[in-house]
Structure 1
């Protein structure tokens, strides 16, 4: 009997230790491509700098998994990961995972601000004045799974969601298969100075600016709502800390902070 009790206690300790280890590590997915200055393929960039400090403050370790963006969102929704890095808000994504503040995300707890620019072929008449599109003579492209698609569809313009990567989107636009395309601000900036600069131009007025959040899976939130709240609070605290604010100011244009 004494031996049985010992074995039960030993097994409980092992299981408890495993549970503690699992609770101390969260798996976060992110889009497997460079989005400068926020993320690089080797785990650098401002998003990772911010989360490193969050990890130090909370003691929670983050296990990062890079994957195509749509697959990342699907993994969060399926509770296959604990959350995702830099997820913009729109209502349909409430079924995917949880934002700080729920259906009305708390901007103070955002990771960063970003947005989209409209790119057209040089000589094209299509235009965007900040309120409405003009002279739309074909589809406007965007990357698969990106929230800007909802923005475009809400304005009644024909869309094309067939591109995985910004380079593929730029090629389709340059080849005349699209009337225009919506690019993330960092990608649009690269286009303006890259190999497509002679064929494509970035319109000066942003399509939209968005806040990007640490999204947590519904299972993670249900399992430990106090930890979820602490993580979101620390994201906001780190982002506004003097050290991180100086780092961000050195790498990000003022209109995108």
Structure 2
């Protein structure tokens, strides 16, 4: 074999190897959540997830990875920053995200019809853009079956406090009373519209500490997050109780950025469908049971 033939064979081998690696490379999708713990869905707080028990939602996404041969890159960021990153396209997706009309211009949720990037591009150029009642015509109705979970918001207060929620309105709240909330959470605008004075923090633990110090009158937040923190710090927060009537229940989704949808809407649709399908499986039921057992033992 002459030198030229050997070089050709080597180059051909390298080229074929490159093609093979490109062909079988997994799609990597960057999705973010915040740094709080909301058991059983997200097991621990912090910058990283518990390797063995990350939480129900993380294990759900792991099953989606396996089903679709994709790879999620998970980030944990302050919620407000994650929202900004989704708006700017610095991340591909964000979870758990509840639906709000002002978000649907930059956070894309599963709908009852496939995303049409041409129709969306044309709509953005039209005078109807930014009119809430027209988005359903372009995007379709929300597909609730593709949600990851529901979460309830409750009022938390000190034992003996007269503040309460009767299912329709807050009781025994003066204009001087402040309610602790987490910055960027969907319920905040509703509470503000009800005339409540809000004390915003970036971390629910700060709200709990402020309540114990008497700096705020109550907290309105997701039960998964507050219940988890109270359970983990029973002595510190032993004087805090939850009002029994739910204030609001939201459905939560994995939402994608506009830039991701414009490039990979088919992948997004497959992921949402995968979430719906996997939640019906015995494998997912085993995961739910696993975390139910872990919750009972903690």
TM range (shorter): 0.7 to 0.9
Q: CA RMSD in A?
A: 2.6
- Say whether residues 1:73 and 2:100 are aligned partners: no
Q: How has the CA–CA distance of structure 1 residues 30 and 190 changed in structure 2, closer, same or farther, with 3 Å as cutoff?
A: closer
Per-residue CA deviation, residues 186-231 of structure 1 (Å, 9 max, x unaligned), is 2332455413443321111122111110111111111122111111
3-state SS in 1 of match to 2:104 = helix
Alpha-carbon distance in 2 for matches of 1:237, 1:30: 22
Q: Which of these residues, 197, 221, 240, is aligned with residue 158 of structure 1?
A: 197
Q: How does 1:211-226 map to 2 (within 5 A)?
A: 211-226=251-266
The residue aligned with 2:217 is 179
Residue of 31, 34, 50 corresponding to 1:31 = 34
Do 1:28 and 1:81's aligned partners in 2 also have CA atoms closer than 8 Å?
yes
Q: Which runs of 5+ in 2 are unaligned?
A: 1-10, 112-138, 294-298
Normalised to the residue count of structure 1, the TM-score between the two structures is 0.84
The Cα of 1:174 is off from its aligned counterpart by 1.6
Relative to structure 1, is the Cα distance of residues 153 and 15 closer, same or farther in structure 2, using a 3 angstrom cutoff? farther
Query: For the structure 1 residues 19 and 219, does the alpha-carbon distance in structure 2 shift closer, same or farther, using more than 3 Å as the test?
Result: farther
- SS of the residue 1:224 aligns to: helix
Shift of residue 71, structure 1, vs aligned partner: 0.8
Aligned counterparts of 1:71 and 1:243: Cα–Cα separation in 2: 34
Q: Is the 8 A contact 2:38 2:228 kept in 1?
A: no
Match of 1:82 among 86, 92, 98: 92
The 1:133–1:219 alpha-carbon spacing in structure 2 relative to 1, beyond 3 Å, is same
SS at match of 1:85: strand
- How many residues align structurally? 242
Structure 1 residue 20: Cα displacement: 7.7
**CA shift at 1:135, angstroms?**
1.1
Gaps of 5+ in 1: 1-6
1:38-78 deviations in Å (ceiling 9; x for gaps) = 11342511011100111111111101111111111111111
Q: 1:192 to 1:29 in 2, by over 3 A?
A: closer
Separation in 1, partners of 2:101, 2:64: 27
Residues 36 and 45 in structure 1, CA contact (< 8 A), matched pair in contact too: yes
1:210 maps to which residue? Answer: 250
Separation in 2 of the partners of 1:60 and 1:191?
33
Change (3 A) 1:86 1:15: farther
Question: Given the alignment of the two structures, is residue 42 of structure 1 paired with residue 49 of structure 2, yes or no?
Answer: yes
